[in-house]
């Protein structure tokens, strides 16, 4: 944690959010302290960072977010957003917010809802219409543009909520439980969207109970408990288990497997290692099934994302062309017609590739900051070196066992 804190301190990117000694005490009717929701916390969120705010219920996540938005006022400490007080109206032009509950006006249609929120940003009629159309398309509700949002399912309402949060192409997006109420497809789309925003240098703060969501998209997390920060840092730093190794190979023939096992037994006790088949995650499996259904044009009245990121959101992205293929995938575009049922080994490969991509992404993200980039490069090289060592060892082992067997 110390090293991460230093890394953050050395970061040259300007802080979008800065909290020092932030304190929030809720009081009762007689002004007596009732609960210390946020207890003297310090943190910074840098430009272009995706930060996850984690914690059990009542840990102070939502209170912190509401203070960032000026909906609650700090009892003590200093809190700035874009260098100004969160109560300053001018900074709100650059903020997008998706609340935990999507509070929409039920009698407005999807289009009218977005148009209303766009009006609050003083956008011209033409601009409003263009953005609303693109956002509706992006969140998969173009077909329901004229339906009152009161008729929407929770997930559809959530999608409209997400669209309104991005109507102003915000520099800071605050998402309170963004995947709550969404189907796995929607969750994936939200995560892809966050990734895309990150690539455009946007800052995103996400609070979620779904740790896998946070793990998938966040560069850094802050874990709150009882209003205090219990841990914070880059995910790689926090989650790597230095004292354990994992080796993934294609399915091994029985004799090779025997050799591997015997090598392992020679060097380790039985309960110190485990060999099993890697599994697809349920999310991966689900998305695969749904994508196939899409390709077959099965009718649905729910959300039908076109997979297109709104043009005004993707415009200006320097990396758009270079990473076009990757963006397309992140945006959840319909994949090529499905190949024959992928084998488990292929899935494992995919996962491995995804892991590598993540590392690459984290590297490309930080390339502006030389220090972090160098550090990440070192990490990658170290990881590769470890992988290579392990591979060599395995080869040696397998080779010697093969000889033994031959003998």
Partner 1 sequence: MLPFFAIVRLTCRSAIRSNVFRTLLFLLALSVILIPNTIKGDGTATGFIQLILEYSLGFSGAILAISVAWVCCSEIASDVESGQIHMIVVKPVPRAVVLLGKFTGVLVIHAVLLLIASAAVYGFVMYQFMRQDFPTEERQRVESEVLTGRRLIAPDKPDFAKMAEEELKHRLETARIDERQAIEQKLAGDQKRTVLAGIERELRRRNGEVEPGGVLFWKYSGISEENPDPLFLRYKLYAGTDTSKNQETTYGAWLLRFVSRTDRGEEGAEPEYTDNIVSLPPEEIMTRTRDEFGIQDTILRVGGAPDELRRNIPPELMKNLTDQLIREGTFVIGFQNYDREGKKIILQEADGPFLMVRETSFLNNYLRAVFVLFLGIAAVALVSSALAAYFTLPTSVFLAASYGLLCVFAVYLLGSMADMGDDLSMGDRMAKALSEGVFFLLIPVRDFFLTTELATGQLIDFARIGHLIFYNLVLRGLPLFLAGMLLYSRRELALAVKR
From 62-70, 249-257, 292-300, 371-379, span contacting partner 1 (CB under 8 A): 62-70
CB atoms within 10 A of CB 83: 12
Please, which of residues 81-120 interact with partner 1 by CB under 8 A? 89-90, 92-93, 95, 97, 99, 101, 103-105, 107-108, 116-117, 119-120
Q: Provide, rounded to whole angstroms, the least separation between the CB of residue 183 and partner 1.
A: 23
Q: Please identify, using beta-carbon distances, which residue of 101 and 356 lies nearer to partner 1.
A: 101
End-to-end CA distance of the chain: 52
Q: Provide, rounded to whole angstroms, the least separation between the CB of residue 232 and partner 1.
A: 24
Return d(Cα 247, Cα 370) in angstroms, integer: 31
3-state secondary structure of 20: strand
Task: Determine if 70 is a binding residue for partner 1 (CB under 8 A).
Answer: yes
Please, which of residues 163-222 interact with partner 1 by CB under 8 A? 164, 168
Q: Provide, rounded to whole angstroms, the least separation between the CB of residue 161 and partner 1.
A: 8
Tokens of 230: 């219990």
Q: Please identify, using beta-carbon distances, which residue of 66 and 200 lies nearer to partner 1.
A: 66
Question: Of the candidates 231, 239, 175, which has an alpha carbon nearest to the alpha carbon of residue 208?
Answer: 175
Q: How many residues bind partner 1 (CB under 8 A)?
A: 29
Q: Please identify, using beta-carbon distances, which residue of 173 and 287 lies nearer to partner 1.
A: 173
Question: Per DSSP, what are the bridge partners of residue 222?
Answer: 53, 232
* Contact string 119-148 vs partner 1 (x = CB under 8 A): xxxxx-------------------------
Angle 29-31-35 from CA coordinates, rounded to 5°: 90
Question: Of the candidates 365, 63, 367, 91, which has an alpha carbon nearest to the alpha carbon of residue 228?
Answer: 63
Return d(Cα 144, Cα 140) in angstroms, integer: 9
3-state secondary structure of 33: strand
What number of residues does the chain have?
407
Residue 260 CA, distance from chain mean position: 37
Q: Please identify, using beta-carbon distances, which residue of 72 and 139 lies nearer to partner 1.
A: 72
Task: Determine if 69 is a binding residue for partner 1 (CB under 8 A).
Answer: yes
Q: Please identify, using beta-carbon distances, which residue of 43 and 117 lies nearer to partner 1.
A: 117
Please, which of residues 14-53 interact with partner 1 by CB under 8 A? 26
Please report the DSSP string for 36-95 in residue order. Answer: EEEEEEEEEEETT-EEEEE-STTSSHHHHHHHHTTSS--SEEEEEETTB-TT-GGGGGGE
Q: Provide, rounded to whole angstroms, the least separation between the CB of residue 154 and partner 1.
A: 15
Return d(Cα 62, Cα 318) in angstroms, integer: 34
Q: Please identify, using beta-carbon distances, which residue of 92 and 202 lies nearer to partner 1.
A: 92
Q: Provide, rounded to whole angstroms, the least separation between the CB of residue 299 and partner 1.
A: 32
3-state secondary structure of 34: strand
Angle 306-344-280 from CA coordinates, rounded to 5°: 55
Q: Please identify, using beta-carbon distances, which residue of 78 and 395 lies nearer to partner 1.
A: 78
Q: Provide, rounded to whole angstroms, the least separation between the CB of residue 101 and partner 1.
A: 6
Q: Provide, rounded to whole angstroms, the least separation between the CB of residue 127 and partner 1.
A: 11
From 12-20, 63-71, 204-212, 346-354, span contacting partner 1 (CB under 8 A): 63-71
CB atoms within 10 A of CB 119: 12
**Selected binder of partner 1 within 35, 71, 210, 252 (CB under 8 A):** 71
Contact set with partner 1 (CB under 8 A) = 26, 66, 69-73, 89-90, 92-93, 95, 97, 99, 101, 103-105, 107-108, 116-117, 119-123, 164, 168
């Amino acid at each position: 944690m110390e090293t991460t804190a230093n890394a953050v301190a050395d970061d040259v990117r300007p802080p979008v959010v800065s909290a020092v000694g932030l304190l929030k005490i809720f009081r009762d009717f007689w002004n007596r302290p009732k609960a210390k929701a946020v207890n003297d916390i310090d943190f910074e969120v840098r430009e272009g960072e995706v930060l996850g705010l984690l914690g059990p219920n009542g840990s102070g996540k939502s209170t912190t977010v509401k203070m960032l938005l000026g909906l609650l006022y700090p009892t003590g400490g200093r809190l700035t957003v874009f260098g100004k007080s969160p109560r300053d109206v001018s900074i709100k032009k650059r903020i997008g917010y998706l609340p935990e509950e999507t509070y929409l006006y039920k009698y407005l249609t999807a289009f009218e809802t977005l148009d209303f929120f766009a009006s609050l940003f003083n956008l011209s009629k033409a601009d409003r219409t263009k953005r609303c159309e693109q956002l509706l398309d992006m969140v998969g509700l173009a077909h329901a543009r004229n339906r009152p949002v009161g008729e929407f399912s929770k997930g559809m309402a959530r999608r409209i909520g997400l669209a309104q949060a991005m109507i102003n192409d915000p520099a800071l997006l605050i998402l309170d439980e963004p995947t709550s109420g969404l189907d796995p497809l929607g969750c994936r789309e939200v995560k892809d969207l966050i990734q895309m925003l990150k690539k455009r240098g946007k800052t995103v703060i996400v609070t979620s109970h779904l740790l896998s969501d946070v793990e998938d998209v966040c560069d850094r997390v802050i874990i709150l408990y009882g209003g205090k920060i219990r841990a914070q840092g880059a995910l790689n730093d926090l989650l790597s288990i230095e004292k354990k190794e994992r080796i993934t190979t294609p399915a091994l023939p029985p004799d090779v497997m025997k050799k591997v096992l015997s090598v392992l037994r020679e060097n380790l006790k039985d309960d110190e290692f485990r060999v099993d088949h890697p599994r697809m995650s349920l999310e991966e499996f689900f998305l695969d099934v749904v994508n196939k259904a899409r390709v077959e044009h099965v009718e649905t009245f729910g959300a039908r994302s076109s997979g297109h990121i709104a043009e005004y959101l993707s415009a200006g992205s320097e990396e758009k062309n270079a990473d076009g293929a990757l963006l397309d995938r992140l945006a959840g575009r319909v994949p090529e017609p499905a190949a024959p049922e992928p084998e488990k080994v292929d899935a494992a490969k995919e996962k491995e590739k995804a892991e590598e991509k993540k590392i690459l992404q984290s590297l490309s993200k930080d390339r502006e900051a030389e220090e972090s980039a160098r550090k990440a490069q070192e990490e990658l090289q170290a990881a590769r070196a470890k992988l290579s060592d392990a591979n060599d060892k395995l080869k040696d082992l397998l080779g010697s066992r093969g000889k033994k067997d031959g003998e």
